[in-house]
Chain A
Amino acid sequence: MGEGQTHLLQGTLDMLILKGIGDSEFHGLGISRRIEQITQGTFRVKPGSLFPALHRMEEAGWLTSFWGNSENNRRAKFYRRTKAGHRQLGTETEEWTTIAQAIASALKST
């Protein structure tokens, strides 16, 4: 990550991608920008992390891809969340919430 950026916790990238895509379709750059947007600029995903993750998740069956045209009329590969991806987001969110609450309560305790 560049300067001024927070390091992405291991394993959270998949969750952010799944969340970011939501029920619509995005190409790689779109996903990157979307994540930037929903985290209020805290995380900027670089291509070196993004593409390996996208391909891995596609192989895992959480995403499907197709070729389409971008807003600037460029041919690009678009990604869409599958049902399995939706389920995966559910489990990961649950896990994350548990961890976040645990850590928050640990930090609050005196």
Chain B
Amino acid sequence: MNGWRRIRAVCSTLWDKREVENDLDAEISAFGEMLADEKMAKGMTDKEARRSTLAELGGLEQLKQAVRDERAGNGVEQLWQDVRFGVRQLRRSPGFAVTGLLIIAIGLGLTTTMYSIVYAVILKPLPFAHPERLVAVEAKPWKPFSLPTIADWMKGSRAFESMSAYTGWSPRIESPAGVGHVNAVLVSQNFLSELGLPLRLGHDFTQSGNEKDCFGQAIVTERYWRRMGGGDALARRTVQLDYQTYTVIGVVASRAPLEDMDGLDQPSILTPIGCDPAKHPDRRGDGSFQVIARLRPGVSMGNALEELAVAQKNLARTYPREYPAEFAPVLIPLNDFISGTENRSALLATLTACGMLLLISCANLTNLLLARDMRRRSEFALRTMLGAGPLRIFRQVLTENATLVALGSILGIMLASVLVRLASRSKLMNLPRLNEASVDLRVVMFAVALSSVIVILLTILPALRGRRTELTEDLRSGSSSSSSAPRGLRRAGHLLVAAQVAMAFVLVAVSGWMVSSVYILLHQPLGFDPDHLLFASTDLRGPERSASIDPAVTVAKLRKILSDVSRIPGVVEVAAANDKPLGGRVNQYGFCSDLHPEDCQRANPNAPDVFAVTPRYFDTVSQMLFRGRAFNDADDGKDHVAIVNRALAQQQWPGENPVGHRIFSGGLNGWAMVVGEVGDVRSYSLERAPIPNLYLPEADGRPDTSMTIMLRTVGDPSELDETVRRILREDAGITVRYVESMPELMAHAVAIRRFFMWVVAAFGGLALGLATLGTYALLTYEVSVREREIGIRLALGSQRRAILALLIGQEARWIAPGLAAGLIGAVLAGYLLRAEFYHASAASASVLGTTFGLLTVSALAAVAIPGRRASLLDPSETLRRD
């Protein structure tokens, strides 16, 4: 039969159904009449002939059904019948329908939302040419590289097609879009061509190597271009960055949204390295660049890394003073680098949590379906009696479930599209490329695949049970509601409850760890007092940004600012440092102490981070002074003095008093006397433990021009924000980068973690609720079918307490293994997600214990309430009911 004819046949079966049926009717009755005619012609009476004909036809309905079964559209028609029956079935029990639809819609909606986010942030290929060949180069123990290092790597290996360098800066910008600060990135001239970034307008930086060819040039992103007024003409469009004029020579197309890429410093503007005389990128020790490399086609990342390691070994041999022996480069796929390893595991963990929640929902729904199937046993038995084969019944159940899931999935996809839109617009989650998330065809396909899995999961258990149908028993039980439920069903129900308990255990434990991580992060001792602390990041060089500013001028400017802001009412202490605590800026110089002067002869991987601070700094941030003294105004460089933190003191002079010892620092280019020992602070981030720090007076040597003003206030520091800005702006000699309070910074630092904490905690709560509800529902059902048995027990003199104990004991046999499996799963999940948890090991046991208690109590409550109800049954009533 050819395809076209088949389709036409199917259509005529479905569309001209009435006509086809009438035709069949007429044909068969004509056949009967002719058969009767024939019989009468042979001498039968009218009556005899009719009876004999009917016998020969063997039932008109069966005959017609046999013809229908042969028709091409038969399958489709039956499917349609089953769908309609499914919908009717749902409408007949609206409570079940609403519950089922909601369970599926929420479970599927959340999972689909999460998938869409995970896809946009992690899985979606970067909008660059051949993104699979792009890698980010990192290194241990530190990352930023110098341009000579990068050039030598390129020379020393053949695995790379190109390498490009970049580093972020945040200049003051003046453009048609207004005045303010902007994220910019300095890039090597091959940066755009290496990534294969599409330009909407203009051209790439010229790679002639001649400085004049790229001097004062900038490429902006399309988003910023639109803010500047947009248009298709580049002529005479300029921007001012830190009071220098740059000509816009190109616009990056918006399908490569650089602004959303945290790993690339979210730039709106790109300017070339090596064209700005204020920067001196030729020194081998000036490691301030990050590297992106493109592998040659066919070169694996492993091979590339081997070659790079060899090149670095050779470099370390040639320049032993520049590279420590253990310095080793690392390659990361650019996609992973941009999505961020931390975000990656957090997102995947959340997606897994969604999946588990969905599984719990499915288990709950299966239990509901099983209970409903119990009530429908007589219906199925009747269908079997009327000739429906097991396959036909299976198909009916499958279609019913598919109808339910399909309706729920449509709701779920609608929910997901709302949630994804909310998530991609929210500033709450600062995830790279999040705003590219949308419910597109791929996501819908995911949802469809997922709902097919749900249908199969929902159908398997009831179908397995359905096959064991014992007709007579089921038919009989249709009339009396209180017969005992079959063992198979009860076992399946208990198994599902145990599985729910186990999964809920894992989710609750994980959310417990998340909550305790955030709590510990925000409440751990930091080494300083973050409350009532305001800071302002400034550039003392001012508008000219001249590199060679007189040290005396810098110090005088700083003194003036400090005395100005100290007069603000509500400010108790002021000081300045070249970076705030939790700031993450690194200044490292060659270092050695009087005990190990040989350390100065090589690159010292243990060199401390160096901070330049003003007098009263330790008082302002409330950092503990253990020994010696703090800096004062007399420490102006006549005698070099230094203060060490406890970690550095332990490292250099274990067990000794550091005061009186001497250290050498490349920052001073000389030896200094240690005059004090202070406590350790978290200088990088909340997560990172304190490391050795060296403090030098700002007034000594060449003062740092990039200084953070710290203010200790009486009241809420953010209230002084505007005042501080105004006073600093009055001073034309400096530029202000940003003003922020320390609590704000900390809240920002834990924002993503806090967001995931809320998500996982919500999931944990939902899972706990669902599992409890599932247990409760199952036991309520169980009690309802065992009323008679309980009645007999009571009538025979069983104590009510014994009934309760019996029920709890029976449930515990299932719940206990569930809890045990959950415990194992939670420990496993804790191990897999250990990077997400902060100090999880410390809180681990207590979280597991709490989770165990929480689940046990809620499971017991879920069992005890129906159990108590059962024990209060009046036997004289339950026994008489049948």
Name A's B-contacting residues (CB within 8 A).
27-29, 46-48, 51-53, 55-56, 59-61, 70, 72, 74-77
Contact = CB atoms under 8 A, between A and B. Distances in A.
B28 to A, nearest CB: 7
B770 to A, nearest CB: 50
A52 B2 CA distance: 19
B38 A29 contact: yes
Nearest to A2: B56
B67 A52 contact: yes
B58 A46 contact: yes
Contacts of B35: 29
B67 A74 contact: no
Contacts of B296: none
21 contacts: A27-B30, A27-B34, A28-B27, A29-B34, A47-B28, A47-B31, A47-B57, A48-B66, A51-B27, A52-B67, A52-B70, A56-B70, A56-B71, A59-B1, A59-B5, A59-B70, A72-B34, A74-B34, A74-B37, A75-B26, A77-B23
A51 to B, nearest CB: 5
B33 interface: yes
A73 B67 CA distance: 26
A61 B24 CA distance: 18
B9 interface: yes
A53 B67 CA distance: 8
Interface in B61-76: 62-63, 66-67, 69-72
A56 B71 CA distance: 6
A52 B69 contact: yes
B33 A51 contact: no
Contacts of B1: 59-61
B71 A59 contact: yes
Given A51-B27, A59-B5, 5 more contacts: A28-B31, A48-B63, A53-B70, A61-B5, A76-B34
Contacts of A51: 27-28, 31, 63, 66-67
Contacts of A28: 27, 30-31
A75 B28 contact: no
Interface string B69-86: 111100000000000000
A47 B38 CA distance: 15
A47 B63 contact: yes
B58 A47 contact: yes
B34 to A, nearest CB: 5
Across chains A and B, which 9 residue pairs bring their CB atoms closest together, nearest first? A52-B70, A56-B70, A77-B27, A59-B9, A76-B30, A60-B1, A29-B34, A28-B31, A52-B66
A75 B37 CA distance: 13
A4 to B, nearest CB: 15
Contacts of A47: 28, 31, 56-58, 63
Nearest to A75: B30
B53 to A, nearest CB: 10
A48 B71 contact: no
A62 to B, nearest CB: 9
Contacts of B69: 52
A61 B1 CA distance: 7
Contacts of B23: 77
A21 B195 CA distance: 75
A61 B9 CA distance: 10
B823 to A, nearest CB: 60
A61 B7 CA distance: 13
A94 to B, nearest CB: 20
Contacts of A75: 26, 30
Nearest to B57: A47
A52 B65 CA distance: 9
Interface in B1-54: 1-2, 5-6, 9, 23-24, 26-28, 30-31, 33-35, 37-38
A77 B9 contact: no
B33 A74 contact: yes
B70 A46 contact: no
A74 B30 contact: yes
A47 B35 CA distance: 11
Contacts of B63: 47-48, 51
Q: Which of A46, A51, A77 neighbours the largest number of chain B CB atoms within 10 Å of its CB?
A: A51
Interface string B853-876: 000000000000000000000000
Contacts of A46: 56, 58
Interface in B429-481: none
Contacts of B66: 48, 51-52
Contacts of B33: 74
B5 A77 contact: no
Contacts of A53: 70
Contacts of A29: 31, 34-35, 38
Nearest to A67: B26
Contacts of B56: 46-47
Interface in B152-187: none
B29 to A, nearest CB: 10
A55 B31 CA distance: 14
B762 to A, nearest CB: 56
A55 B38 CA distance: 24
A59 B72 contact: yes
A58 to B, nearest CB: 9
A48 B72 contact: no
Q: Which of A46, A52, A70 neighbours the largest number of chain B CB atoms within 10 Å of its CB?
A: A52
A47 B64 CA distance: 10
A46 B63 CA distance: 10
B748 to A, nearest CB: 71
A35 to B, nearest CB: 15
Given A48-B63, A48-B66, A55-B71, A72 B26 contact: no
B89 to A, nearest CB: 31
Contacts of A48: 58, 62-63, 66
Q: Which of B2, B33, B34 neighbours the largest number of chain A CB atoms within 10 Å of its CB?
A: B34
Nearest to B31: A28
A104 B799 CA distance: 82
Contacts of B6: 59
Q: Which of B31, B35, B56, B72 neighbours the largest number of chain A CB atoms within 10 Å of its CB?
A: B31
Contact of A72 (B24, B37, B62, B71): B37
B769 to A, nearest CB: 55
A27 B70 CA distance: 19
Q: Which of B6, B56, B70 neighbours the largest number of chain A CB atoms within 10 Å of its CB?
A: B70
A57 B34 CA distance: 22
A65 to B, nearest CB: 9
Contacts of B26: 75, 77
Nearest to B10: A59
Contacts of A52: 66-67, 69-70
A52 B74 CA distance: 13
Contacts of B27: 28, 51, 76-77
Interface string B403-414: 000000000000
A52 B28 CA distance: 11
Nearest to B53: A47
B813 to A, nearest CB: 54
Contacts of B31: 27-29, 47, 51, 76
A74 to B, nearest CB: 6
Nearest to A28: B31
Contacts of B28: 47, 51
A76 B5 CA distance: 25
A47 B237 CA distance: 90
Nearest to B28: A51
A49 B67 CA distance: 9
Q: Which of A28, A55, A74 neighbours the largest number of chain B CB atoms within 10 Å of its CB?
A: A55
A70 B58 CA distance: 23
